[in-house]
Each structure stands twice: as structure tokens, then as C-alpha cells.
Amino acid sequence: MNNEDAVAALAAATNWHKASYSKENGGCVEVGLVPGTVGVRDTKLGAASPILAFDPAEWEAFIRGVKDGEFDI
């Protein structure tokens, strides 16, 4: 599935859930899944939010980097 098709499928998905590490101050993201693709969007904007689409390998690398502190400020 190309990126455009993946984003369209994610936009229609109903399985979005708020990330467990989201902040109560509105700095929240939601994660949604369709076969072969993980999507991330801004909770505040919901369905109106732009969607970032990742294949499973990209998503795993991102999660691994977060857990390893690679993105700590």
C-alpha cells in the first residue's frame, strides 16, 4: 500500500486511541492501525488532524529510540 492509500485508510479507521504517555495539557497524540501501517495524529484535531503514516519497521525503530532516550530534550 502506498503512503497516500495508507493515509486514506487510516483516516477512515475507527480504532484510534490516545497514546499512554500523552499529557493532560493538550500535548497528546493518537495512534491508529490498519494492516501494514501505523498512523499518528494530533488528539486535539481528531479526524481533522494530518496523519503521519509509518510502516511497522519504522514504527518499531521510533519506539525503540523513545525507550532508549534518543529523543530526550
**Eight-class DSSP state of 49:** S
The per-residue DSSP string of 28-43 comes to -EEEEEETTEEEEEET
Cβ atoms 37, 55 nearer than 8 A: yes
Beta bridge partners of 41: 30
What pLDDT does 26 receive?
A: 65
Query: What is the tens place of the pLDDT at every residue in 48-62?
Result: 999 999 999 999 999
Please determine, for residue 36, whether its predicted confidence score (pLDDT) is greater than 90: yes
- Collapsing DSSP to helix, strand or coil, 71 comes out as coil
Report pLDDT for 25. Answer: 64
Helices (H), 1-73: 3-12, 56-67
Query: pLDDT tens for residues 7-23?
Result: 999 999 999 998 777 66
Residue 31: is its pLDDT beyond 90?
Answer: yes
